[in-house]
């Protein structure tokens, strides 16, 4: 039994398979899930778990070198935009439509119960050395 880190066995298994430059998505409950991309659905109630709580746990477990968010988050969801800017050192922004297209090339989508607009991020894995 694990003492710390990601306890969800499915999520931990996916993380163990990630390599440098692989990408994952942390998504709100409304983001479309592309065909063929595995999705771990953590949502159990509207708003829970929150996007920010899952982001924090994932960032404790993964090395992230870059990230991408929809630029609309900056105008429509200030709390999430502020947290992303403060937490992620290398973040770029694309339109929400471009963001949805980029999710098609990711290794995994983690669906939260988040219900605020544009609470989504693509995280690109780095290396530990």
For residue 70, give both structure tokens.
């929809």
Residue 31 domain boundaries: 9-125
Please indicate, yes or no, if residue 3 is contained in any of the structural domains. Answer: no
Please indicate, yes or no, if residue 2 is contained in any of the structural domains. Answer: no
Please indicate, yes or no, if residue 1 is contained in any of the structural domains. Answer: no
Please indicate, yes or no, if residue 108 is contained in any of the structural domains. Answer: yes
CATH number at residue 91: 3.40.1650.10
Radius of gyration of the chain (CA): 14
User: The pTM is what?
Assistant: 0.96
Q: Count the domains in the chain.
A: 1
Residue 4 annotated in active site: no
Which residue, 76, 58, 77, is CA-closest to 67? Answer: 58
Cβ–Cβ < 8 Å for 106, 31 = no
Spot the catalytic one: 4, 14, 20, 96: 20
**Judging by DSSP bridges, how do beta strands 121-125 and 64-70 pair with one another?**
antiparallel
Task: Going residue by residue through the chain, which has 129 residues, state the pLDDT in tens, using 9 for 90 and above.
Answer: 677 889 999 999 999 999 999 999 999 999 999 999 999 999 999 999 999 999 999 999 999 999 999 999 999 999 999 999 999 999 999 999 999 999 999 999 999 999 999 999 999 999 999
């Amino acid at each position: 039994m694990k003492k710390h880190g990601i306890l969800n066995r499915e999520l931990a298994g996916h993380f163990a398979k990630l390599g440098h430059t692989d990408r994952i998505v942390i998504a709100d409950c409304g983001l479309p899930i592309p065909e063929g991309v595995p999705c771990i659905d953590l949502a159990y109630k509207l708003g829970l778990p929150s996007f920010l709580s899952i982001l924090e746990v994932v960032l404790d477990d993964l090395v992230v070198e870059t990230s991408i968010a929809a630029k609309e988050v900056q105008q429509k969801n200030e709390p999430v935009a502020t947290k992303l800017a403060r937490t992620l050192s290398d973040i770029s922004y694309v339109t929400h439509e471009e963001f949805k297209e980029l999710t098609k090339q990711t290794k995994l989508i983690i669906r939260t119960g988040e219900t605020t607009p544009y609470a989504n991020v693509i995280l690109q894995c780095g290396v530990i050395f």
